[in-house]
Amino acid sequence: MIYTVTLNPSIDYIVQVENFKQGGLNRCIHEDIKEGGKGINVSIVLNNLGIETKALGFIAGFTGREIEDRITKRGIENAFVVAQNGLSRINIKVQGKNETEINGMGPFVSESDFKKLLMLMDSATENDMFIFSGSTPQSTINDMYERLCLKAAEKNIPFVVDTIGSNLLSTLKYKPLFVKPNKKELEDIFNAKIETDEGVIAYGKKLQSFEGGGARNVIISMGKDGAVLLCEDGRIIRKKAPKGRQVNTVGSGDSMVAGFAAGIIMYKDYEKAFSLAVASGSACAFQLGMPTKENILSVLENVK
């Protein structure tokens, strides 16, 4: 079982606009409403690939009930803590020549709410995996990610972290199975401009040796320039981005995370898992919505 933990799920309202005019009236040419949040996206792709998954996290209000209902209808097992204050957020994605996002705030999560989430993790065993991903909700708790990873580490359960900045850095001492920053996020973490593949690799390695801990494996996605995997055995594996027309960026990184986690289970081989990760991320970018197994396998043939 792969448990995904989404701390701040959302309803995503995705609209396509031919020529977006700031301050004026815009009419969309296509619209879609979907359940979102990075971990939920991961669960959707895992489910599409036939990997058993269970979605955990926080929901609140009528939007939270809609998120839960949509996931359940997909056949994905789930268990959410219902926060008592606020609403699950609505995120607006405006797609045109450029992509503009407006993300809602989400509910307020109390210490009591958070302890309920930690209790939901107790059903997992060493044969399972956790994926912690996305932004944190409003709260007075500043160390949610660190406490989630500590819980997984104490239970000796492998875990994955896909978040940014200090939230990511705080988890590295617990040695996550893998982390997946993109190039821009890597630059932000180290306050550096990275202009070469060698620079990407050098800064990626810092995440493997950070303060005596470090991620076991690091995937760095670089958009049209492909991706690189730094393995715990010292191997550096590069993959080119498959050719195709990009129509969507929402969920591509989450699809890559799902692909690598699924590949580890399916192949028990990092390079094969990495190919599936690149195929999953690219398949998502080539269409609207999260990719199906058929979408991913068709792209996998072109991953080099």
Catalytic sites, residue numbers: 254
φ and ψ of 147, to 5 deg: -70, -35
CA distance linking residue 215 with residue 208, whole number of Å: 5
The number of CA neighbours under 13 Å toward the Cβ of 224 is 5
The whole-angstrom separation of Cα 175 and Cα 183 is: 21
Report whether 41 contacts 254 (CB < 8 A): yes
Distance (Å, whole) CA 4 – CA 18? 35
DSSP sequence for 131-144: EEES---EES-S-H
Neighbour tally for 50: CB within 10 Å: 9
The pairs formed by 72-79 with CB atoms below 8 angstroms and a separation of 24 or more are 74/44, 74/47, 75/47, 76/43, 76/44, 76/47, 77/53, 78/43, 78/54, 79/54, 79/55, 79/120
Residues 6+ apart with CB under 8 A from 72: 78
**What number of CA atoms fall less than 13 Å from residue 299's CA on the CB side?**
29
